[in-house]
Structure 1
Amino acid sequence: MSELITRRTFLKAAGTAMAAAAAGGMLAGCGNRADALLSVSALPSVSSESYIAADTGYMIGLGSFEGCRSNSQREPGTNSTQHYYLYTAVSFQNVSNPFTLNASDFKFTFTNSSLTSKTSCSSLANYTLDSSTNKYKATTKRTISTGNSTIPLWVDLGSYFDVPTTHIGGITVTYKNSVTFSYASPSDTPIPKAK
């Protein structure tokens, strides 16, 4: 019996794989479609070497970043353009007391000079749509419960047409001015370090 596959079998398998990849993109909610919601169902994983003890005793870890384009019609304001966002997972382990997490607890530093003004976390959850304006609505404050939890972390890099999406460069994420996570590029595993 031959172990070679026929051309037809190969093309069917390749077509199925492409359809699955396209469906994954639709589930992610990212892209330039009119229904792009900036809502992801699966976050990047956080590797065990990406955790570090935070200032109050719990562990915090970040995953690698992924990129996402928004829908210009959903961006707040008038005459808005399509924006480019980065998102990742932030994971909290062994939290003994609930606490309030604010978007301002995270600061971003980019090595690419065109991104140096993008210093703030834009949302601590997937974006929703404001019921009155039908525009993106961010979450800038949320409660972290006891135990373990993982949430999305978003940063808005501005107009898609102004962002060097193929060369974002290095990123340093500072959490509560006590620990940093350094990335050589957005898709890399971060290196955590106490400040």
Structure 2
Amino acid sequence: MSELITRRTFLKTTGAAALAVAASGMLAGCGGAYASTPDGLVAAAVDSDKVVDFGAFTANIGRFDQWTSSSIYEGGERHNYLYAAFAVSTMSSTDSITINTSDLTFAHTGGSKGTVVGLGYKGLNSDKTDYVFKTSLSVGNASQKTVILFIDLGTISNSSFQSLYTGQMTLTLKKSGKTAVFTYTGLQDAPSSRIF
């Protein structure tokens, strides 16, 4: 025996199905390089062959990966970020060092701009409206610390990860009268390094 379906039942059923499809699409968009906060980001390990020696300390950085932030914590616009593991070791029991984000600069030959904004992530501000990144890294005597370094490339309307797959990227660290340059030939490549 066949059952008749009324117009009202048909509309209710199709409306519920459409809502379920829309909800699943929103959840599918939450994966990959997009996450509301960078708490769960895992950076690739640093390559011990790329370390640079400043005398009192050594510094090293891994390959870059990408993260897109949430507009909730960026004043209404999402930002593209690069991030990488950044390791600093002091050489003896009498040496300690503090590195600030202002000691580091990022450049890309393709014209992409970026600013080093974090040497680690603290969390959200007290109002839960903005990200709070650590702006300095202090390493005590005969110690080693590894943090995630964050580079803000700007809003997604003004930046693109795609452009970083070509051209060279450099991260420059100036400290203790010396300059180290980590050079990447493309996004997600391990850097080469030199100091002068």
TM over 0.5: yes
Output the CA distance in 2 between the equivalents of 1:57 and 1:144. 11
Output the CA distance in 1 between the equivalents of 2:41 and 2:82. 15
The AA in structure 2 aligned to 1:187 is Q
- Shift of residue 41, structure 1, vs aligned partner: 4.8
Q: Does 1:31 align with 2:40?
A: no
> Gaps (5+ residues) in structure 2?
1-29
CA RMSD, 1 decimal: 2.3
Q: Which runs of 4+ in 1 moved over 4 A?
A: none
Partner residue in 2 for 1:8: none
Q: Does 1:62 align with 2:61?
A: yes
- Shift of residue 91, structure 1, vs aligned partner: 0.8
Q: For the Cα contact (< 8 Å) 1:123–1:155, is it kept in 2?
A: yes
Secondary structure in 2 matching 1:123:
strand
Q: Which protein has the bigger strand share?
A: 2
Partner residue in 1 for 2:152: 156
TM-score scaled to structure 2, two decimals? 0.73
Number of equivalences: 160
- Match for residue 92 of structure 1 among 80, 88, 95: 88
- Shift of residue 67, structure 1, vs aligned partner: 0.1
Query: Could you report, residue by residue, the CA deviation over 1:141-172 in whole angstroms, capped at 9, with x for unpaired residues?
Result: 23122322111100000111322212213211
Q: For the Cα contact (< 8 Å) 1:37–1:127, is it kept in 2?
A: no
Partner residue in 1 for 2:132: 137
Q: For the Cα contact (< 8 Å) 2:98–2:138, is it kept in 1?
A: yes
> Gaps (5+ residues) in structure 1?
1-24
Partner residue in 2 for 1:171: 169
The AA in structure 2 aligned to 1:105 is D
- Structure 1 residues 112 and 39, CA, compared in 2 at 3 Å: closer, same or farther? farther
Query: Could you report, residue by residue, the CA deviation over 1:100-119 in whole angstroms, capped at 9, with x for unpaired residues?
Result: 22101111111112x14x2x
Secondary structure in 2 matching 1:187:
coil
- Shift of residue 133, structure 1, vs aligned partner: 4.5
TM-score scaled to structure 1, two decimals? 0.74
Partner residue in 2 for 1:128: 123
